[in-house]
Amino acid sequence: MAQTISRWGDTFNFVALVITVHRLTGSSLKVAATVAFEIVPVLLLGFVAGVLVDRLPRAKVMVAADLGRAAVAVTLALFPDNLVVIYAAAFLLSALSVFFNPAATSVVPSLVAPEDLVRANSALWSAAVASQIAMAPLAGAVVAFGGPSTAFAFNALTFVVSAGFLVRLPIERPQTVRGRSWHDVTEGLRLVRTTRFLAVLTLVQFLAALSAGATSALLVVLARDRLDVDAARFGWLLSAIGIGAVLGPLVLQRLVREVRRPLLLFGPYIVRGVVDFGLATARSFGPALAALSVYGIGTSTGMVTFNTTLQRNVGDRLRGRVFAFFDVVWQSGRLLSIALGGALADAVGVEVVYVLGGALLLLAGAAGFALVRSPQLLTEP
């Protein structure tokens, strides 16, 4: 319930932010900068957050993050047309999410049996993303007719409601040996470096992030410049991603119990790469809508298999640090992607960004298949 309601607000917030910045500036680069301000806190705080998530009661970490994000969203609702406030709010919302996200992912194995992790992760993802199907078009309409302040205020309310659900989670403090903070950080990094599969997954995730950063941030530019889509129909494009993101895990949890297979881990990157090539050549709303639904399937199934594999292979004592590490890897690639993609879109057109993004995703999938040739590599401690 907490993640589903919070996702409602996230959808309203994302639609309002990108549309508002694009309306205020008319610049692809400045739209991309909004997302860049969401990435920098992960690079600054990611490793510290991982240590705290492994030391403190994770439910309390999530509640504190939600209440802090609610306060920031209220400020954004009061000053919706100030670009400095928008960038500052994007930074602060992300900074608090740096603590929330690894805590949320790390607690799942504490709530369900190991054999139920695929179903649990699928259910959590599907329930949260299903709301995007209804909320994205509504968010576009609210921004178009009610203004961005309404969307930002709604986001603040969802954080408060989410905190109300999370405060009741029966999760105990992680069993962590007290020690030096720097030693705690390096212990997580050492696990990634010495475990073959985690090292391979780091490379694959970074390549994928180099693609996804620019293409996600510039979807609003593609919609306006290539598809002639207004704010309300832009919400429908996000809704198409949501439909695919719901369907993928629903099928996955019915057909698959063991996800630690190269095909399930790396196949979604190939699917998303092909979709990016399709979006680069799309000229009308309908084909783009269909392509984005397939993209949602690839994204969601990949996320469920990624989370489940890490939850099963990484012990509770280090789980927060490992998930925080992959957040840093992902956001580092996204930041570089956004910086290059925004400038490239302004210089030669957004379709070139999607072509290069597709190529990077195909490379990420191919690297995974080439370097992880046997399922036994996915069971290292």
Token pair belonging to 5: 């309601």
**Which range in 32-41, 242-251, 313-322, 362-371 is most confidently predicted, on average pLDDT?**
362-371
Is the residue at 176 inside a domain? Answer: no
Question: Lowest-pLDDT range, 80-84, 231-235, 336-340?
Answer: 231-235
Is the residue at 174 inside a domain? Answer: no
Residue 132, pLDDT > 80, answer no
Question: How deeply is 255 buried, as exposed, middle or buried, from its count of CB atoms within 10 A (0-12, 13-18, 19+)?
Answer: exposed
CA pair distance 371, 169, nearest whole angstrom: 39
What pLDDT does residue 375 have? 46
Nearest residue to 268 (alpha-carbon basis) of 290, 296, 292: 296
Is the residue at 249 inside a domain? Answer: yes
CATH number of 17's domain: 1.20.1250.20
Is the residue at 173 inside a domain? Answer: no
What pLDDT does residue 204 have? 93
Is the residue at 175 inside a domain? Answer: no
What pLDDT does residue 130 have? 73
Nearest residue to 377 (alpha-carbon basis) of 195, 152, 162: 195
- pLDDT confidence tier of residue 68, bands split at 50, 70 and 90: very high
**Which range in 13-17, 59-63, 228-232, 310-314 is most confidently predicted, on average pLDDT?**
59-63
Token pair belonging to 155: 């986001």
Is the residue at 221 inside a domain? Answer: yes
Query: Region 168-195: what's the mean pLDDT?
Result: 68
Mean pLDDT of the chain: 82
Is the residue at 106 inside a domain? Answer: yes
Query: Region 192-206: what's the mean pLDDT?
Result: 88
- pLDDT confidence tier of residue 174, bands split at 50, 70 and 90: low
pTM above 0.95, yes or no: no
Full 3-state SS string of the chain: CHHHHHHHHHHHHHHHHHHHHHHHHCCHHHHHHHHHHHHHHHHHHHHHHHHHHHHCCHHHHHHHHHHHHHHHHHHHHHCCCCHHHHHHHHHHHHHHHHHHHHHHHHHHHHHCCHHHHHHHHHHHHHHHHHHHHHHHHHHHHHHHHHCHHHHHHHHHHHHHHHHHHHCCCCCCCCCCCCCCHHHHHHHHHHHHHHCHHHHHHHHHHHHHHHHHHHHHHCHHHHHHHCCCCCHHHHHHHHHHHHHHHHHHHHHHHHHCCCCCCHHHHHHHHHHHHHHHHHHHHCCCHHHHHHHHHHHHHHHHHHHHHHHHHHHHHCCHHHHHHHHHHHHHHHHHHHHHHHHHHHHHHHHHCHHHHHHHHHHHHHHHHHHHHHHCCCHHHHHCC
Residue 104, pLDDT > 50, answer yes
The count of domains in the chain is: 1
Q: What is the pLDDT of residues 246-293, one digit of tens each?
A: 888 777 777 666 666 778 889 999 999 999 998 888 888 888 888 888
Give the domain range for residue 212.
Answer: 2-168+181-379
